[in-house]
């Protein structure tokens, strides 16, 4: 259906908007790419024992297979978004997907641990080029209520890919065997990625005239932002692996962040094209608070799956597949709530995020109280709390993205979306380390995995309380925070 009669103005009031009749098909292709990329964040978690045994190495080395992907993923998100803004989404998606396919093949065929780690680093960097193109395309192709629906679908992909990763990983290992099952976790990306190349080339829009003349990349800005992200993520990842010395890098974060902001202001004053117009944080309604809410939400949310997986496998003796299947109600709740939230967020506004966070926290509280109980079937005590938590979580991600990016100019859509997702990746890494540390310390002190699970979920609830406070502040203080018209 063509909506050519509907013409709206761009966010900046400059360019007319005429809906692309292929916009929903383009979104479908880009979301399949996004699902594949985000799935690789969690799908390898259940394969760690298999990789350790097959490659004959220690868990500390294999930890970099898991964390290295998150490191380079977070490192390239903003730069990937800015490159998409300047050179076109299609070009960046093709380059990123080719890199992802090649590195997935290299990881699946890796003869040793070093080869596998390098392949995962390249795979993560390729994912960082691909992911911000989703939000950039939504900014360009959709307006009003349709944009909320599109972001709702994207939020569904983000939530479900995180929750379903351990399940699919467990299925693949069960089918392919312990020895080589981990290889197929990577190799399955190759045929899927190749099948997506043609639709991307044929349907995804290339660079528009709006991107012409602004194709010079802010290299110093990219270096400064990359150094800032590295100074945050390397200590966190090293802490998960047991190393403490890299924590000193955190002392560099304020100086590097300040240098990045100063440089970006200078680029803007000189009429250049910044990597990320940091003025968006100050003058764009909802953007700064949206970045904060998103980062804090992922800080509190990500570690829950990690401690639950450990609790079910080590504390209750379940297989990776059984543990993954028990976590499915969260994905089901997210799948139902996320698109529904996307449809109503333009009318309800930030209060939807506030209520959704509250619902999720109620679900997690019930989970912490019920899951450690003895003599009760696990599926019974897990299903309802996880379903409630999933429904709340699904109604957080998509509305927060919609509200955060609603007033961002389309020329910065990719970079702004990349910054939003960088906050999510950093939050996820920090949250996983904090919640897992709380679980491990409690397990050592109490010797009871049930008590440890309660401490881990309690830590998650404290972190989510900070996200709730940020959402409430945004709702109460920002113009249009309570309601937003289409």
**CATH number of the domain encompassing residue 452:** 1.20.1250.20
Q: What is the DSSP string of 265-304?
A: HHHHHTT---SS-TTHHHHSTTHHHHHHHHHHHHHHHHHH
Residue 282 has which token pair? 């100050």
Structural domain of 265: 218-274
Question: Which domain-ending residue is among 274, 294, 316?
Answer: 274
What's the pLDDT score for residue 297? 92
For the ranges 97-101, 116-120, 371-375, the lowest mean pLDDT is seen at 371-375
pLDDT range class, residue 3, cuts 50, 70, 90? very low
pLDDT, tens digit (0-9, with 9 covering 90-100), for 38-77: 888 878 877 777 788 888 887 667 778 877 888 888 888 8
pLDDT range class, residue 173, cuts 50, 70, 90? confident
Same domain, 225 and 312: no
What's the pLDDT score for residue 276? 77
Answer yes or no: is pLDDT of 316 > 80.
yes
Does some domain include residue 349?
yes
**Three-point CA angle 243, 244, 247, nearest 5°:** 120
Same domain, 344 and 421: yes
Specify whether the CB–CB gap between 313 and 319 falls below 8 A: yes
Question: Which domain-ending residue is among 231, 258, 274?
Answer: 274
Same domain, 330 and 429: yes
Residue 195 has which token pair? 């099948």
Same domain, 240 and 343: no
Average pLDDT score over residue span 126-136: 90
Which of left, alpha, beta for 359 (phi over 0: left; psi -120 to 50: alpha)?
Answer: alpha
Mean pLDDT of the chain: 83
Does some domain include residue 482?
no
The structure tokens 């099948």 sit at 195
Specify whether the CB–CB gap between 306 and 435 falls below 8 A: yes
Return d(Cα 97, Cα 56) in angstroms, integer. Answer: 31
Average pLDDT score over residue span 370-387: 84
Beta bridge partners of 17: 8
Average pLDDT score over residue span 271-293: 79
Q: Which residues contact 352 (CB under 8 A, 6 or more apart)?
A: 341, 344, 345, 395, 399
How many domains in the chain? 2
Q: Which residues contact 269 (CB under 8 A, 6 or more apart)?
A: none
Same domain, 263 and 153: no
Residue 466 has which token pair? 């900070």
Same domain, 146 and 259: no
Question: Which domain-ending residue is among 274, 302, 317?
Answer: 274
Burial zone of 80 (CB within 10 Å; 0-12 exposed, 13-18 middle, 19+ buried): buried
**Three-point CA angle 344, 349, 355, nearest 5°:** 85
Same domain, 428 and 448: yes
């Amino acid at each position: 259906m063509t909506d050519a009669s509907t013409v709206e103005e761009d966010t900046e009031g400059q360019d007319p908007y005429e809906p692309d009749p292929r916009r929903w098909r383009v979104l479908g292709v880009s979301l399949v790419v996004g699902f594949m990329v985000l799935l690789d964040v969690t799908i390898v978690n259940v394969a760690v024992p298999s990789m350790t045994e097959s490659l004959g190495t220690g868990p500390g080395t294999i930890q970099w297979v898991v964390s290295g992907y998150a490191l380079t993923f977070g490192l390239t998100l903003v730069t990937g978004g800015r490159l998409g803004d300047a050179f076109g989404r299609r070009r960046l998606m093709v380059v990123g997907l080719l890199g992802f396919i090649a590195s997935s093949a290299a990881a699946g065929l890796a003869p040793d641990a070093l080869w596998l780690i390098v392949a995962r680093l390249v795979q993560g960097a390729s994912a960082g080029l691909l992911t911000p193109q989703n939000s950039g395309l939504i900014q360009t192709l959709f307006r009003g209520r349709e944009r909320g629906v599109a972001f709702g679908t994207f939020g569904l992909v983000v939530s479900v890919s995180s929750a379903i990763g351990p399940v699919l990983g467990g299925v693949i290992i069960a089918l392919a065997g312990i020895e080589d099952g981990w290889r197929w976790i990577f190799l399955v990306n190759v045929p899927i990625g190749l099948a997506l190349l043609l639709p991307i080339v044929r349907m995804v829009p290339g660079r528009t005239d709006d991107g012409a003349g602004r194709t010079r990349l802010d290299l110093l800005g990219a270096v400064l932002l990359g150094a800032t992200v590295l100074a945050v993520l390397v200590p966190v990842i090293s802490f998960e692996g047991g190393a403490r010395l890299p924590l000193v890098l955190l002392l560099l974060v304020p100086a590097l962040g300040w240098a990045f902001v100063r440089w970006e202001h200078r680029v803007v004053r000189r009429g250049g094209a910044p990597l990320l117009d940091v003025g968006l944080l100050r003058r764009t309604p909802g953007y700064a608070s949206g970045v904060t809410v998103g980062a804090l939400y992922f800080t509190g949310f990500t570690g829950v799956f990690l401690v639950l997986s450990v609790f079910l496998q080590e504390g209750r003796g379940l297989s990776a597949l059984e543990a993954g299947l028990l976590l499915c109600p969260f994905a089901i709740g997210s799948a139902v709530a996320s698109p529904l939230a996307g449809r109503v967020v333009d009318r309800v506004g930030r209060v939807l995020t506030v209520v959704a966070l509250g619902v999720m926290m109620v679900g997690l509280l019930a989970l912490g109280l019920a899951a450690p109980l003895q003599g009760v079937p696990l599926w019974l005590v897990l299903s309802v709390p996880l379903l409630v938590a999933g429904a709340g979580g699904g109604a957080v991600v998509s509305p927060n993205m919609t509200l955060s990016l609603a007033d961002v100019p389309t020329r910065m859509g990719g970079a702004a979306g990349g910054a939003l997702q960088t906050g999510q990746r950093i939050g996820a890494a920090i949250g996983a380390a904090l919640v897992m540390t709380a679980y491990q310390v409690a397990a050592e002190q109490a010797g009871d995995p049930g008590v440890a699970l309660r401490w881990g979920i309690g830590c998650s609830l404290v972190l989510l309380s900070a996200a709730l406070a940020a959402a409430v502040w945004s709702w109460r203080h920002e113009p249009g925070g309570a309601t937003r018209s289409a």
